[in-house]
Structure 1
Amino acid sequence: MDDNPRDWFGEPRAAARARPATTTSDLRSQVDELLDAKIEKFYAEVPYADHQRSGSDINLEYYKRHNIETILRLRRKRTVDALAIGYFTKRDPVRGAKWAHYVEDEMLHDEWFAGDLAKVGVTKEEIYSTEPFQSTKLLTGYLQYGMEFEGTPLALLSSVYFVEYVTTKTQPSWVRNLEESLGREKLAGARRHVGTDIEDEHATFVWEVLASLVNTPEDERRVIEHVTVVASLWVAYFIELYRHVVAQPADALEAGRTLAAGVV
């Protein structure tokens, strides 16, 4: 539907039916192939990328900071989720209801990770007093820019699909390896999070909502662009994490940018 206020408050089912019947299976295959290549390159070229998946001597500070950042990122993303709900309430309430249910399901997952961190000595005060990495701020800003200045949740939904897809591809092996080193009881939150994403088929659900915004070849191009940008920020985050915890140079962010330019 176009952005016509006269259409905003009509019959909700009619709004859903008014959307063109767009087939996006080819686009999804293209995105998935892109993400598979990004994951492979990530493991091959980003320092410490394979640490949580196959490291036998886990760097506990790296693990802690990664989970703290995961929580900080989740807390900031849910503010953008709220903007997306507002978008759908006006233009497509049927999908708005579905997205609101998904957001409700994801809203408090940071508590699961905080519970895991408590078992390795990290308090909530420490978590929430930590300054987010620059890569986290850039990601949040990118998603908010899409809502505030482009007027669409296309960037957000592309990012959420990225997260759900990459989670199903990477996190089960990370959790299994971390459980062997730290103990299964210390990964209860992470395992619950991954299990929810896989069992509820979150990647497929998110794609179906994303597809409702894809009506033109230009929309398809933008999805590829958004996924590529988010993947770049994903790499930048792990480089920043490595530089901050492991390498600790004087200018971790600049070092991360330099290395990311050659990886992404």
Structure 2
Amino acid sequence: MTDDPRSWYGDPRAAAAARTADLGALRTQVDDLLDAMINKFYAEIPYADHQARGEELNLEYYKRHNIETILRLRRKRTIDALAINYFTKRDPVRGAAWAHYVEDEMLHDEWFAGDLGRIGVTKDEIYSTDPFQATKLLTGYLQYGMEFEGTPLALLCSVYFVEYTTTKTQPSWVKNLEEKLGREKVAGARRHVGTDIDDEHADFVWGVLTSLVSSTEDEAKVIQHMRIVANLWVAYFLELYQAVVAPAKNSFEAAGSLAGRFA
């Protein structure tokens, strides 16, 4: 975007109002899609329900999953900053709101690191771990949207995907983990889920996301982004499973093959 006044937002409040739309039907379509994906995830992906219902917790699987959560959060906040830059030029009212959301989420990796520390995983171990290829691809996909498509729509779809599925799945995961490890050892995860639910993060993210949707073509892109993000998350859980539970010579190739057919 050039420093041309004709391409900037004009009056900030007017710009925000101009990008407010009633997309309730689209949200229903997205939520129904995500509910179906959650059911399919539990039905088809190996070990998918392990942390939610596993009788004997695979501690190495739990550790590696939380390490990856931290590594993913550390990389995502860089893309969040790119989104703030986008909104400063087009919709500073939502830029302020997104900056507040990012501030709230920015250091949540510390909560998960605290949980890992209580079971003997050091920060040096966490931060010296190389992320899974699926995490790198997800990060790259979101950054591609910013750098080459010039919009944070993919990012916002991914954040909505995470916020929505978190409220649907994580309470049962945390409850089971508390029973297996003790409530004090998963305090960070409990705090993270509670924040997402209590602060109604899914509703907030949807409101920002809709400011980027102004045509039927954009609505189709939202659905496409949700499917791609779902495939990348499935690839991650398959890569995690094959790295910890059932090692394979080329785990990501197998993970990518199945995940590509998921959504």
TM-score (normalizing by structure 2)? 0.96
Output one character per residue of 1:97-120: Cα deviation in whole Å (capped at 9) or x when no partner: 000000000000000000000011
User: Quick one: which amino acid aligns to residue 15 of structure 1?
Assistant: A
Q: In the aligned structure 1, how far is the partner of 2:225 from the partner of 2:261?
A: 19
Mapped contact 1:46–1:263 kept (Cα < 8 A): no
Match of 2:50 in 1: 51
Match of 2:111 in 1: 112
Output one character per residue of 1:168-200: Cα deviation in whole Å (capped at 9) or x when no partner: 000000000010001100000000000000000
Q: In the aligned structure 1, how far is the partner of 2:196 from the partner of 2:16?
A: 26
Q: In the aligned structure 2, how far is the partner of 1:226 from the partner of 1:113?
A: 27
Q: In the aligned structure 1, how far is the partner of 2:82 from the partner of 2:262?
A: 32
User: Quick one: which amino acid aligns to residue 221 of structure 1?
Assistant: A
Is 2:182 aligned against 1:177?
Answer: no
Q: In the aligned structure 2, how far is the partner of 1:249 from the partner of 1:47?
A: 14
User: Quick one: which amino acid aligns to residue 238 of structure 2?
Assistant: I
Aligned length, in residue pairs: 261
Mapped contact 1:164–1:203 kept (Cα < 8 A): yes
Is 2:81 aligned against 1:82?
Answer: yes
Mapped contact 1:13–1:94 kept (Cα < 8 A): yes
Match of 2:16 in 1: 16
Structure 1 residue matching 2:93: 3-state secondary structure: helix
Structure 1 residue matching 2:212: 3-state secondary structure: coil
Match of 2:233 in 1: 234
Cα deviation, residue 262, structure 1: 4.5
- Indicate the RMSD between aligned Cα atoms, in angstroms: 1.3
Q: In the aligned structure 2, how far is the partner of 1:11 from the partner of 1:148?
A: 26
Please show how residues 29-108 of structure 1 align to structure 2 within 5 Å: 29-108=28-107
Mapped contact 2:9–2:15 kept (Cα < 8 A): no
Q: In the aligned structure 2, how far is the partner of 1:233 from the partner of 1:125?
A: 27
* Cα pair distance change 1:124/1:23, threshold 3 Å: same
Cα deviation, residue 13, structure 1: 1.3
Output one character per residue of 1:138-177: Cα deviation in whole Å (capped at 9) or x when no partner: 0000000000000000000000000000000000000000
Q: In the aligned structure 1, how far is the partner of 2:247 from the partner of 2:18?
A: 54
Q: In the aligned structure 1, how far is the partner of 2:200 from the partner of 2:78?
A: 23
Cα deviation, residue 10, structure 1: 2.9
* Cα pair distance change 1:5/1:237, threshold 3 Å: farther
Structure 2 residue matching 1:48: 3-state secondary structure: coil
Q: In the aligned structure 1, how far is the partner of 2:53 from the partner of 2:85?
A: 42
TM-score (normalizing by structure 1)? 0.96
Match of 1:188 in 2: 187
Structure 2 residue matching 1:247: 3-state secondary structure: coil
Q: In the aligned structure 2, how far is the partner of 1:9 from the partner of 1:40?
A: 42
User: Quick one: which amino acid aligns to residue 115 of structure 1?
Assistant: G
